[in-house]
Amino acid sequence: MRITLDPRTKLFMVLIVSMVVLMPATTPLLWGIRICMTMIPILLLLSEKRYASAIRFLIFYGVALILTFFFLSKESQGILSAILIGYCGIVVQFMPGIITAWYCVRTTKIGEFMSAMQKMHIPDGIAISLAVVMRFFPTIKEEYGSIRDAMKMRGIMFGGGNALRMVEFRMIPLLFSCVNIGDELSAAAITRGLGGKVRRTSVVELKLHAQDVILMMLFTAALLVFVFFKYFR
């Protein structure tokens, strides 16, 4: 079953999850809320048939959770567990935000996004910049893939053992091609009337449905409960 949400709901979810992510969970109840909030975007990804990414996120998050709860404790010693604690800590802490944002970016069309921005009376300048950022994710992925291929052929995947060069070899061609594409992209967009004084219209008609209202209420409630039990009890 496919559940489609309004872009505004998605943005609201990102906002709430980001807020919760910044407050460390300390009690089992708080942990529970956090985990539930993470599962919702994963389920939504599944409903959009994005199985691969949903399962990858689930495993990634799940493993980090299990490690934190059952194998690592304050008494863990040694370099390996130090690295693991740091790693799992970051994953467990920030993964919910990343998953929600991923869901939001991957399932929202640019047209829908622009329309949502307009309904929320966000200035066109900001809306267009954000839309371009969304448009650029797949481009960067494509370009990065080609650069990795080129590096493989040259046998310099590991920069000759030099970590700095490893980054340099990836970033320099990537920056060059992104700048070029960005330049051509904006030229093409301007010739089609982007940035005019006329108020932009949108063919996408957005309406909040039952699922949007339910999710927004659910997430608001979760945030309130989280804050209440963390700071006022």
List interacting residues with another protein (CB under 8 A).
109-111, 114, 131-132, 134-135, 138-139, 142-143, 146-147, 149-156, 160, 168-169, 172-173, 176-177, 180-181, 184-203, 205
Nearer CB in complex with another protein: 77/201:
201
Which one-letter DSSP state was computed for residue 161? G
First to last CA, the chain: 40
In angstroms, give the least distance from the CB of 7 to another protein: 13
Instruction: Tell me if 24 sits within 8 A of 96, measured CB to CB.
Output: no
Nearer CB in complex with another protein: 119/230:
119
Nearer CB in complex with another protein: 64/104:
104
Q: What does each C-alpha distance from 9 to 1, 76, 93, 103 come to in angstroms?
A: 19, 41, 22, 12
Nearer CB in complex with another protein: 80/198:
198
Kindly state the tokens that stand for 229: 């039990």
In angstroms, give the least distance from the CB of 96 to another protein: 25
Kindly state the tokens that stand for 133: 């950022």
In angstroms, give the least distance from the CB of 1 to another protein: 19
The C-alpha atoms of residue 140 and residue 135 are separated, in whole angstroms, by 9
